[in-house]
């Protein structure tokens, strides 16, 4: 819990919780909801797994298949919102982000190194893109993986604490902090 009006303490607490969510499988913020608008202008939402946090650069990282419809949608509309809820903290975060998908380079190589030793690796080796109708050859491996790293640059965080003693809400950006009416 954050006591008083310490803006810096709250900012640090939020980023510390996000960092813990990457390494602690039981942390509620490990699996947020990602919402965006697809290429047809329709809203889309899905759960994702938080794979990396960099508080200094204000970035969150998520694995994705770079052939997926969501990855393709980000090419034309890079804005999204991540929603995190923790019952333990009684905190909700709505994080506005700009997204880009990395399909090669050190981050992707590092991600693949971790992922390739798990059963989930098969999802990124399929010859078919996510959401495609299953074809008879769907068990075939593409040879090359389709792992992409979604880099979500944080633009703003809307923090809400629900409490029997009174709810609190704040908006945080790189340059600003503002207490809001809950």
Mean pLDDT, to the nearest integer, of 166-172? 97
Lowest mean pLDDT among 59-63, 114-118, 127-131, 157-161: 127-131
- Cα 76 to its chain centre, rounded Å, is 18
Contact at 8 Å (CB) between 22 and 53? yes
CB atoms within 10 A of CB 22: 17
Which pLDDT tens digit goes with each residue over 123-160?
A: 999 888 898 898 876 556 667 999 999 999 999 999 99
Query: Which residue bears the tokens 């969501």?
Result: 70
pLDDT for the residue 134? 86
**Which ranges of the chain would DSSP assign to H, the alpha helix?**
7-23, 69-76, 106-115
Fold of 7-157: Pnp Oxidase; Chain A (2.30.110)
Which of 59-68, 73-82, 122-131, 138-147 shows the lowest mean pLDDT across its residues?
138-147
Model confidence pTM above 0.75: yes
pLDDT digits 0-9 by tens, 21-39: 999 999 999 999 999 999 8
Cα 73 to chain centroid, rounded: 15
Please name every residue paired with 179 in a beta bridge, in sequence order, or none if there are none.
170
Joined together, the tokens standing for residue 43 give: 């809203």
- Look up residue 134 and give its DSSP letter: P
**Pairwise CA distance, residues 110 & 140, whole Å:** 24
Q: What is the pLDDT of residue 45?
A: 97
Quick one: pLDDT at residue 138? 54
Residues 79, 122: Cα–Cα separation, whole Å: 29
State the pLDDT at residue 33: 98
- Computed on alpha carbons and rounded to an integer, the radius of gyration of the chain in Å comes to 18
Spans of all domains in the chain:
7-157
Q: Which residues contact 165 (CB under 8 A, 6 or more apart)?
A: none
Residue 134 tokens read as 């299953």
Q: How far is the C-alpha of 71 from the C-alpha of 22, rounded, in Å?
A: 21
Q: Is 160 left (phi over 0), alpha (psi -120 to 50) or beta?
A: beta
DSSP track, 25-41:
TT-GGGS-EEEEE-TTS
- pLDDT over 70 at 5, yes or no: no
């Amino acid at each position: 819990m954050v006591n008083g009006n310490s803006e810096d303490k709250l900012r640090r607490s939020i980023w510390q919780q996000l960092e813990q969510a990457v390494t602690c499988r039981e942390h509620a913020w490990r699996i947020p909801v990602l919402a965006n608008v697809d290429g047809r202008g329709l809203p889309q939402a899905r759960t994702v797994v938080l794979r990396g946090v960099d508080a200094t650069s204000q970035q969150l990282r998520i694995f994705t298949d770079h052939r997926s419809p969501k990855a393709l949608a980000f090419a034309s509309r890079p804005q999204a919102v991540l929603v995190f809820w923790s019952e333990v903290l009684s905190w909700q975060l709505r994080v506005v982000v700009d997204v880009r998908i990395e399909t090669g380079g050190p981050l992707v190589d590092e991600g693949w190194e971790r992922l390739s030793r798990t059963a989930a690796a098969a999802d990124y080796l399929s010859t078919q893109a996510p959401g495609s109708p299953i074809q008879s050859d769907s068990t075939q491996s593409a040879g090359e993986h389709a792992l992409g790293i979604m880099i979500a640059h944080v633009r703003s965080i809307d923090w809400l604490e629900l409490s029997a003693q009174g709810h609190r809400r704040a908006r945080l950006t790189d340059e600003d902090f503002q207490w809001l009416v809950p």
